[in-house]
Structure 1
């Protein structure tokens, strides 16, 4: 890469994206750029927040291919037959796996009841209990944390394994990703420490040992890039089909739309550009896995958490993509 262009990119990052910790760019199957900032290295692993959702989408696709889940139109209560459906709560009977994957489930809360969620002894049941309210089934309602755990509950019941163990066997190990453990917080302080840490190798789980689906996974920038590279190669790694190709195609096309923000959504992936096409896994703080199959480009960004950051897709498409694809 032109040293002058690389130097200019470094200055943009330091000025406009100061919490960016690691950047990996792969183009045409080669790792063209790998850079770290603020003292971080390739060994650091970061809480990638909602990037976790897109990983769960991949696992759902694998479970479908293996016949452990029947299809996306399967009702979620098929997996929780013992869950009580209270009077006025009948909508729950109609919710399908597809509704959860496309963020088109209505919830009773106006503001996310995070404190009650974290203090509950079953995060999956807590999410199931929140379904309902004034919204309509099929309308987009983004659920950052409360709601996606229904999917990890489904994976656990469908496969008979923890989500982490299932991911290790069918996704992480083939990609060379080593996640050491599930992590449960005994105290609020432990949870706060987790948000700040960059050396944990883990996937958060709730009190009943079910891994989270909307947040809670830690990855390095290289591991994020490996996931993106697998996606760009149609789900293959070293000639072996890891993720079903048909699932990748279906999950990374527009399935629903956050009309208020004019954002298209697939199955737990953000659709960046339908025509090109390109898609991304995005998490708080500016964590991102950007995949553009047409340009054979993968960009992985690992970041430390700060509340408000500049848009990473604008950064990738405006500053990084032109360096490699023009």
Structure 2
């Protein structure tokens, strides 16, 4: 059981039907060669194509309020995938569910499915849902609300006047235009004496609404906006708006020098709690008949708005977006490989947690996690898996640098 509620039930079906290996074959070699040869231009072109393909197609049909009709999964392929997952030394947990029922769950390396783990930047995805609830409840006005209307007292007098054009939506989609506080700039940012003021005072390297500039400072500004607008801490809001309806524990996490909870990093949830969160989103914002966030907000989250320069994947409000085997996949990604995949068209929610200290892009680890889903889990729910014809579906995956 996970968290403080004994009513949180998890049904587990252990899959034991063995099938001959057909997971990756020699596709890893082919994919690796392909990824090394593919240029940055091609990656961005692929991402833009996905962005254009998905824009306008994310609607109620992709986000069923009720689960799609159940199809008999290929149990052998799912179990085979779980067994192969054990060979990834950094992987700590794997949960696979279909239409709300857990088909497989496994912990590795001494981890536990009910023990909180640092979700790292998957926290940004959780923050995106909190912002939506705040808009639903009138705490925030909407995505077009200028962040300056909430954080005016933190804007330095010498700040670029364009800061007043930055909206809540720009922060959610990483299109604020401000110099990043992530990557090599992260240490200077968290070493400052006022994280909100520091983020607001960054120079503009693009116009508001321009290209994607992945920055934890942007989501921290969202946490600050929630705190200022509601007069409650982000922890209180998370426990009230997510913890209670989902029946999960949300422990305190890192705060800035002014006491504002870090937006976009360091939130700790157990794998089962993260799965509950994913299930709520997959079901259009409800869990067990309880409305948590509006269905319209889920559509907003999953509407492609920009393209990641790192992966070529589309990006919505706090969610990365790609396609696997012809199905849109929406995923949260935290440093080290803290992953939540939601594939509403197939009724799938998948959680993977990993060693939070090892970079997920090292040795293409993130690509291996994507492959578990694209080549092992998704085909188990398709009428005619590609791997029966010798294809591993590599063309459905965006190459990871």
- What is the TM-score normalised by the length of structure 2? 0.71
Query: Contact 1:54–1:269 at 8 Å: present in 2 too?
Result: yes
Q: 1:215 to 1:84 in 2, by over 3 A?
A: closer
Find 1:21's aligned residue among 92, 97, 100.
Answer: 92
Alignment of 1:236-315 (within 5 A): 236-258=286-308, 261-273=311-323, 276-305=327-356, 306-307=358-359, 308=362, 309-311=365-367, 312-315=369-372
For the residues of structure 1 that align with 2:17 and 2:152, how far apart are their CA atoms? Answer: 60
Of residues 106-115 and 264-273 in structure 1, the stretch that sits farther from structure 2 once superposed is 106-115
Of residues 4-13 and 239-248 in structure 1, the stretch that sits farther from structure 2 once superposed is 4-13
Query: Contact 2:94–2:353 at 8 Å: present in 1 too?
Result: yes
Q: 1:233 to 1:10 in 2, by over 3 A?
A: closer
Find 1:45's aligned residue among 93, 97, 116.
Answer: 116
Query: Contact 1:73–1:97 at 8 Å: present in 2 too?
Result: yes
Alignment of 1:97-246 (within 5 A): 97-108=168-179, 112-130=184-202, 132-180=203-251, 182=252, 203-246=253-296
What runs of 5+ residues in structure 1 fail to find an aligned partner? Answer: 183-202
Q: CA deviation at 1:114?
A: 2.3
Q: CA deviation at 1:10?
A: 3.9
For the residues of structure 2 that align with 1:46 and 1:176, how far apart are their CA atoms? Answer: 17
Q: 1:284 to 1:109 in 2, by over 3 A?
A: closer
3-state SS of paired residue (2:297):
helix
Query: Contact 1:285–1:304 at 8 Å: present in 2 too?
Result: yes
3-state SS of paired residue (1:294):
helix
For the residues of structure 1 that align with 2:114 and 2:382, how far apart are their CA atoms? Answer: 28
Which deviations, in whole Å up to 9, do the C-alpha atoms of 1:157-206 show, x marking residues without a partner? 111111111011111111111123x2xxxxxxxxxxxxxxxxxxxx2211
Kindly indicate which of the two structures has a greater share of residues assigned to strand.
1
For the residues of structure 2 that align with 1:84 and 1:227, how far apart are their CA atoms? Answer: 34
Query: Contact 1:50–1:144 at 8 Å: present in 2 too?
Result: no
Of residues 30-39 and 40-49 in structure 1, the stretch that sits farther from structure 2 once superposed is 40-49
- What is the TM-score normalised by the length of structure 1? 0.86
3-state SS of paired residue (1:314):
helix
Q: 1:310 to 1:260 in 2, by over 3 A?
A: closer
Q: CA deviation at 1:302?
A: 1.3
3-state SS of paired residue (2:178):
coil
Query: Contact 1:79–1:157 at 8 Å: present in 2 too?
Result: yes
Of residues 299-308 and 161-170 in structure 1, the stretch that sits farther from structure 2 once superposed is 299-308
| Matched residue count | 303
Of residues 311-320 and 64-73 in structure 1, the stretch that sits farther from structure 2 once superposed is 311-320
Query: Contact 1:252–1:269 at 8 Å: present in 2 too?
Result: yes
What runs of 5+ residues in structure 2 fail to find an aligned partner? Answer: 1-14, 19-75, 384-401
Residue equivalent to 2:134:
63
Give the aligned CA root-mean-square deviation in angstroms.
2.1
For the residues of structure 1 that align with 2:180 and 2:348, how far apart are their CA atoms? Answer: 39
Q: 1:136 to 1:261 in 2, by over 3 A?
A: farther
For the residues of structure 1 that align with 2:159 and 2:191, how far apart are their CA atoms? Answer: 25
3-state SS of paired residue (2:209):
coil
Q: 1:120 to 1:41 in 2, by over 3 A?
A: same
For the residues of structure 2 that align with 1:136 and 1:318, how far apart are their CA atoms? Answer: 39
Query: Contact 1:220–1:302 at 8 Å: present in 2 too?
Result: no
Q: 1:315 to 1:175 in 2, by over 3 A?
A: same
Q: CA deviation at 1:319?
A: 1.5
For the residues of structure 2 that align with 1:80 and 1:302, how far apart are their CA atoms? Answer: 34
3-state SS of paired residue (1:114):
helix
Query: Contact 2:327–2:345 at 8 Å: present in 1 too?
Result: yes
Find 1:73's aligned residue among 138, 141, 144.
Answer: 144
For the residues of structure 2 that align with 1:169 and 1:221, how far apart are their CA atoms? Answer: 20
Query: Contact 2:180–2:215 at 8 Å: present in 1 too?
Result: no
Is the radius of gyration larger for structure 1 or structure 2?
2
For the residues of structure 2 that align with 1:207 and 1:279, how far apart are their CA atoms? Answer: 33
Residue equivalent to 1:12:
84
Q: CA deviation at 1:28?
A: 1.6
3-state SS of paired residue (1:179):
coil
